[in-house]
Amino acid sequence: MARLQTPVRRNDTVVVTAGKDRGKRGRVLKVLPEKNRVVIEGVNFIKRHTKPNPGRQIKGGIVEREASLHASNVQVICPECGAPTRLGHRILGDGRKVRTCAKCEGVVDK
């Protein structure tokens, strides 16, 4: 299976555009490029019933944690204009290739 290129990276601020958490904003905790999915802080909570495992210091019970979302259901928020945007690319004068906001042409990468 081919690895898909996702414009979203770790620590980007994104907004959810579809699903039960539509409109919520959060920081990307993990990107799963082989499945084209992302895990976002405070979004898409699921409940898991876990067995206690004293060897690993795991307590039993119901654990809530974030599940992954498909990358097509999120949009990156531009740090300069603050709007959800698509991303373009530009090569700067010093030779760096950076992601840019399609609306304000601002640089998204730090």
Q: Is residue 1 predicted with pLDDT exceeding 60? A: no
Q: What does the pLDDT read at residue 44?
A: 95
Q: Nearest-CA neighbor of 41 among 33, 29, 53?
A: 29
> What average pLDDT does the segment 27-50 reach?
94
Mind listing the pLDDT tens digit for each residue in 53-100?
A: 999 988 889 999 999 999 999 999 999 999 999 999 999 999 999 999
Structure confidence at residue 52 (pLDDT): 93
Whether pLDDT at 6 is above 90: no
pTM to 2 decimals?
0.83
When pLDDT is averaged across residues 23-50 and rounded to a whole number, the result is: 94
Residue type, 14: V
The answer on pLDDT for 33 being more than 80 is yes
Mean pLDDT of the chain: 91
Torsion sign over Cα 84, 72, 107, 30:
positive
Taking 70 as the threshold, does the pLDDT of residue 4 lie above it? no
